[in-house]
Structure 1
């Protein structure tokens, strides 16, 4: 395959649809092509969005459901925010290095370009006996969420729902409680709401029964 065609493989490689031989050849090309390395980095944000969509989409939804007309605009906005965040991190790093070189960093707070500090919430529902801990971190596109939950009343399917301060609801992730097992389960997901836009998280059964509520402070 010609080098020009290799450039076109970056999208397929990012999505993991190249066969083993083509993936090996593209990785070899990637070590010598800074342009493809840059494109691979830029496509990472869109790939994460597709992964979150797959995790958050209920099983009955067809994987090739027609997207809404604003999906492309949303993905482009996410990509632009990712690029802006990368530029801010670079500028903060340069500024910090300059301060160190001048010897003026004594006692000063170092600026970092990361997102908002992680939010951690804990709650136990005495009625259901379910205990949960949510850790949410801000991202340019919303929040990444980790849930640790202890539920000994399976088997059942549960989901984590983020309820916005405006009353909107988004399913963050879902999982199956295998049986009467009191061990903790950890699952991950994401929401388009930022942590400060979320009023509470609710662990619910697939039938809608509320098992435990974690309220933002």
Structure 2
């Protein structure tokens, strides 16, 4: 598979429509391409919404119904919109921090009232030796996630999976562990589920091996 074709397979991989062999080759590509890894993460909320739609689809919809040819373009447009929204949130956060610094402790105290929306959990798996920490913050669209992980058993492609209280699973972020590098790595991602809908987070390899579980608060 040529490099350009591999880049174009991001959406198909995130939606789970690649064959087993194609998915295996794409996961090899993920280990060497941080750009595709970031794009796979950004498709997570879209994938979640499609899964929710599938669950709520009435039985009379034909089981062999196929997405239209413009579906991929719409998904790419959705990711682009999310990019722009993330940039706006960064600008607003910076502006808010300037206001807090200028106004003083009174505003800072008021802002601290939002702390209940943030959670930090961490765990180390005795079998794999992998340590991970997850910081979450509720957003309108779901949950913003920051992952820190130490994994000295690379190289291997890994995923952070959010497991809902209803059993639903969503890939929050993906990365490639370097060769025998146990230094701390930090990744950011997002889930379409809100914090109170998530039961736990699991770090898994691309082939499904469980590395560590972090119970949500």
Under TM normalisation by the shorter chain, which class is it? 0.5 to 0.7
- 1:116–1:66 Cα change, 3 Å: farther
CA distance in 1, matches of 2:42, 2:214: 19
Residue of structure 2 equivalent to 1:206: 206
Residue of structure 1 equivalent to 2:216: 216
- Structure 1 residue corresponding to 2:71, chosen from 66, 71, 89: 66
Secondary structure of the 1:135 match is: strand
CA displacement 1:171-202 (0-9 Å, x = unmatched): 00000011001111111100001111110000
CA distance in 1, matches of 2:165, 2:73: 24
Q: CA deviation at 1:55?
A: 2.9
TM-score of the aligned structures, taking structure 1 as reference length: 0.52
**Which structure has more helix as a fraction of its residues?**
2
Residue of structure 2 equivalent to 1:187: 187
Q: CA deviation at 1:56?
A: 3.7
CA displacement 1:42-97 (0-9 Å, x = unmatched): xxxxxxxxxx8653449xxxxx9725999999x8xxx9xx9xxx9xxxxxxxxxx9
- For the Cα contact (< 8 Å) 2:40–2:174, is it kept in 1? no
Alpha-carbon RMSD across the aligned residues, in angstroms, is 4.2
CA displacement 1:144-192 (0-9 Å, x = unmatched): 1000000000000000000011110000000001100111111110000
- For the Cα contact (< 8 Å) 2:146–2:189, is it kept in 1? yes
- 1:111–1:168 Cα change, 3 Å: same
Residue of structure 2 equivalent to 1:138: 138
CA distance in 2, matches of 1:139, 1:133: 19
CA distance in 2, matches of 1:57, 1:195: 19
Larger radius of gyration: 1
Secondary structure of the 1:126 match is: coil
Secondary structure of the 2:196 match is: helix
- 1:113–1:123 Cα change, 3 Å: closer
- For the Cα contact (< 8 Å) 2:156–2:205, is it kept in 1? yes
Secondary structure of the 2:128 match is: coil
- Give runs of aligned pairs for residues 142-181 of structure 1, distance below 5 A: 142-181=142-181
Q: Which runs of 4+ in 1 moved over 4 A?
A: 67-73, 111-116
Secondary structure of the 2:182 match is: coil
Secondary structure of the 1:152 match is: coil
- For the Cα contact (< 8 Å) 1:56–1:171, is it kept in 2? no
